[in-house]
Structure formats: structure tokens, C-alpha cells
Chain A
């Protein structure tokens, strides 16, 4: 082992053609590979796997980091499932948010990508235009939208007023606060759109030419070539979207602080409150595990239900 570590310090001498004593080229390559991935191995063991296991352990404890921790078994989970209305509220809010945001984001991202895949002038400018909302900081975006939604002098109510409609109080209304956050988030289609664009550009032109020879209409080309060929990207964007939406935090933290009356309390915001404002770290860990399981179930469900409709290859 010490020998392995000795020779693992190779990099400085690697450019010399001499073969190290007793090591074949293959073995040497393997050794270097392990050396190269060693930061990841350490990082994974400490910051991912270790942390996950530790997180599971503390979820069985009652701990505030100040007084001694106390083992309480499954009590945190029991409290969450049977005794904590806010947990169910957060789960409901986050699920509604995900259902509102992901399909629209994927659909809109696809629509814009299709538009930009046409022969149009100034493609670079257009791509930038649609990507810009994704580059601006989440806090800045939230502040812009706070003012768009302002009940008295915001843009939306001004537009509604010009039609003689008295607009709702948006972020201050229990009914409208969550839809307002959903509308805000829909603007962030940039990354998904780029993935669709890349996908569109990798569809072989010959497929469309062949379809045209067979007299297929533009619509049939779209439903029979474009959509099946893009199905891996649709799946990828949906899954990334679900994972991201269940972790939404900044928008609700800055725009509504979870209010009014917890109408926009998301899972991560609730976890943050429990862990860092109320110092219930065990309970927060239990929440994190439940969040993790929900995301996994959703992801697996999406993967499974897409199995028959996603087309790889071509």
C-alpha cells in the first residue's frame, strides 16, 4: 500500500518514457486513474455518502446543537406525518408549484427552441433574449416581480385596470400568491431551451427530406419525427425540472416569506425554518429525508411512465 502511494506521486516524472519498475503500462494507467479520481472519492465519502448517513442518524434524534442530543427513534417522522399540519401544507404547496411550473416550462422551452431552430435573422440576439432571465440573480428577479405584482402601482394591475378590471392583490392574497410565484418561475426557460436546441440540431436532416418525399405535412413531420427524436430531451428536462421545483426556495423566501398564512410555504423554506430558525436539526433532517424520498419517487415515476414513449438512438 505504501508502495502504491509512493508511485502515486508520479505526475512530475510521468513525461519521462521510462516504465516504472514492476508496473505494466496498464497497471500504471489504472493507478493514475485512481489518483485522478481520488478527490472525488474523498468528496463523495465525506460530503455526500457520509453526510447522508449522518443525516439519517440525526433524524432519529432531538438536537438543537446546544443541549445534549436525545435519541427519540421515529418520533420526528411520526410528528411530521400525523401531527404537523405545516408539513402537509408545505408538501401541497410544493407539489402544486411543481405541477404548475414544470409542464409549462418544458412546453414553452420546446416552443421557443422550435422557433429559434427556424431560419431567422439575428439568431444570436434572439437566443440571448430568451436566455437573459436565466442569468439574472434569483433575488433580483424576485424583486422585479414583487413590483410587477404590486396591488397598487404594479404593472399587472395597471394593465387590468385599463380594461376596467380591478386586479387581485396577488402576493398579498392567499389565493393568488402561489400562482404569482408560478408565473415568476415560468420565465426561467433558458437552460431547458438550450438542451432542446441542441437536440433539434442533432436530428439528421435526411429524416425530414425522406418524409417530404413521402408527402408528409409539416404537422406530421413534427409529430412523427421531431417529437419522438426529442423525447430523451423532454424526459431530461422534465426530471431536472421536477428535482429543481421541489427544492424551490429563493422565490418564496424573498417574495412572500412563505405567506400569506403559509400559502407559499415550500418544503425547503419549511426545512429552513425548522432547522435554522427554530434549531430543530433532527426534525429538519427528517424533513430532508422525506423530501429526498418524494423527489426519488417522482423521478422514478416519470422515468417508468416514459419508458414506452422515449426513443433513444437514431
Chain B
């Protein structure tokens, strides 16, 4: 009892004032948190520990949770058997190209929809919202034919070029929602000094958009890093593969080597995991501020 009670101040107080209902509520809260948290972390924990196991440990039944000695060769073997370094480089290249494309194209579009007056604004924005509902696959075949006529199949161009044309409706939507919350008083001050809309975007809106950019950065980075369907369609040769494709190839080849597979999965998830841990606070604050919910 004393361990649970010391868990937090409110529970402490509950014990002192004999508020048993509150105490039971606090205990329930933490049991739910630890239980649920454990269940949700289970796959990730399993990946982490299995990555260091030997083959024998990885395949023992019943399963062993912790490795007895750290089998580090799990991490090096894939780099020897497959061009995993190349997959990493390819994925980085794609992710950063798309990040630049989306930020450069969507920011001005969202700014115009949020802050500038022009004819047809509302109607055009409805079209942006409508594209959000459109499943990707409905344009898959025509785009594939289009890009194959351009001889772009098995290159990164079909994956990158559309992103420079503000095709990410959800990002535009997020950005517009946020830009609308910035007070217009500052704009007026800037206008008096003779600044036009673009000066306002660069000098006022962007410097105030750090939380938004945190959210957008994480959404795009995680999405691009883990992308599977589109690279699968467009990339045919192994030296062009991204990490997700490489992992899948690896899985079909080394199906029984769970330890090596988990080591690779861990390596492939590290960038997104690290980014999320670092930007977590900013990200969650940004989510609240951008008002995804409105």
C-alpha cells in the first residue's frame, strides 16, 4: 500500500484524509496506465530485446525475454548480405527531398488560403478538403501510366515531383488552420511599413509558426520514412530500394532469422523514434495549437 500511496501527491493526501474513493481512483489510474502502457510498448520492447538475442534464444519455446549475451553480429550481418547502407541513404534522400518539396509548396498555398482575400477562395478550399477524402489508389493507375510514358519508373522522380506541387491536402489544411489563429494586428503594422503579403509571410507568420512546423515535420518525416506502397510501385531494382522495401525483401529471404530481422527493424525505426522523442513536447503542443480538431 505504501508504495502505491507514494506514487503521487493526490493519493498521499487521499490516505491522510481517508478519502478512500479518491485513493481507489488514483490506484486504478496508475494500474490502467502501467498495464496499458506495457501492452502498447510490448511490440517495441520485443523488437528491442530480440534484436540482441542469438538464433537459439530467438526461437526457443516458451519465448525467452532477455538475451543472455548480446549478439551484436545481428546488426552487422544485413550490411554484409544486402546493401542496407544504400537503403538507408536512399530513404534519407527521399525523405529530405519530400520534406523540402512539401514545405516549399504547401506553406505559401496555406498562407494564401488563410490570410489573403481573393475570388473563389472558399470554393477552391473545398476542393482541398475534398482531396483529403480521396483514396490514393484512385489516381494510382493513371499516374503510373503517365510516369512510365515519361520513363520515370524506377527513379525517384514519381515519388518526389508531385510533392513540389502541394499535393498534400492534409498538410495544407493543418497549416491553414494554424495561420488563421495568428492575430492580424502585426500584418497591419507591416503593411504600414510598406510590406506586401510575402514580407508578412516571411517576417511575421513563419517566425511565429515553430509549433506548427514541429507537427508538420514529424508528420512528413514519419510518413515518408515509413512509406511502403508508392516505393513498392515505382522502384524495381534493389539499389534503388528504401528501407521499408529492403526490410520486406529481407523478411522474405531470412524468414527464420528473427533476431537479425528485429535488429534491422530496430535500425530502420531509430530515426523516427529519436525524432519523436526529441520533438515530442513541441509536437503535442503543436497538435493542440493547430486545432486539428476544428
Contact = CB atoms under 8 A, between A and B. Distances in A.
A301 interface: no
A56 to B, nearest CB: 9
B244 A139 contact: yes
Interface in B125-152: 127-128, 131, 133-146, 148
Given A33-B197, A36-B108, A136 B44 contact: yes
Contact of A16 (B108, B116, B162, B194): B194
Contact of A153 (B61, B113, B172, B226): B61
Contact of A137 (B225, B229, B294): B225
Interface in A188-227: 194-195, 197-199, 201-202
B93 to A, nearest CB: 17
Interface string A251-268: 001100000000000001
Interface stretch (B27-35, B74-82, B204-212): B27-35
Contacts of B167: 43-44, 47-48
- Which of A30, A36, A120, A148 has its CB near the most chain B CB atoms (within 10 A)? A36
A11 B265 CA distance: 46
Contacts of B46: 144, 147-148, 155
Contacts of B196: 10, 14-15, 28-29, 32
B261 A15 contact: no
B85 interface: no
Nearest to B272: A135
A146 to B, nearest CB: 8
A119 B13 CA distance: 14
Contact of B10 (A37, A54, A119, A161): A119
B284 interface: yes
B70 to A, nearest CB: 19
Contacts of A148: 43, 46
Contacts of A41: 124
Contacts, number: 288
Contacts of B291: 198, 202
A143 B276 contact: no
Interface string B243-269: 110011001000000100110011011
Interface string B48-75: 0010000000011111000000000000
B288 interface: yes
A36 B251 CA distance: 45
* Secondary structure class of chain A's binding surface, majority of residues: helix
A299 B265 CA distance: 35
B243 to A, nearest CB: 7
A289 B142 contact: no
Interface in B96-112: 105, 108-109, 111-112
Contacts of A28: 196
Given A14-B196, A152-B61, A291-B135, A121 B292 contact: no
Contact of B47 (A54, A144, A161, A232): A144
B229 A129 contact: no
Interface in A228-278: 232-233, 236, 239, 243, 246-247, 249-250, 253-254, 268, 271-272, 275-276
B141 A284 contact: yes
B229 A249 contact: yes
A276 B119 CA distance: 43
A257 B154 CA distance: 23
Contact of A33 (B47, B117, B265): B117
A135 B165 contact: no
Contacts of B194: 15-17
Contacts of B262: 143-144
B135 A131 contact: no
B37 A124 contact: no
Contacts of A243: 133, 135
A144 B284 CA distance: 27
Interface size range on A against B: 35 or more
A232 B226 contact: no
A281 B145 contact: yes
A103 interface: no
Interface in A124-150: 124, 126-141, 143-148
A132 B29 contact: no
A44 B197 CA distance: 23
A131 to B, nearest CB: 7
A232 B44 contact: no
A140 B251 CA distance: 10
B287 A135 contact: no
B199 interface: yes
Contact of A118 (B29, B116, B244, B273): B29
B293 interface: yes
A30 to B, nearest CB: 4
19 contacts: A11-B198, A17-B193, A33-B118, A36-B108, A36-B109, A37-B113, A44-B167, A134-B222, A136-B273, A139-B265, A139-B268, A147-B258, A158-B62, A161-B62, A239-B133, A247-B135, A247-B136, A247-B137, A250-B229
Given A15-B194, A52-B134, A202-B291, 9 more contacts: A14-B198, A14-B199, A52-B139, A54-B146, A55-B142, A127-B284, A145-B43, A148-B43, A254-B248
Interface of A: 10-11, 14-17, 26, 28-30, 32-34, 36-37, 39-44, 46-48, 50-52, 54-55, 58, 65, 112, 115, 118-121, 124, 126-141, 143-148, 152-155, 158, 161-162, 187, 194-195, 197-199, 201-202, 232-233, 236, 239, 243, 246-247, 249-250, 253-254, 268, 271-272, 275-276, 281, 284-285, 288-289, 291-292, 295-296, 299
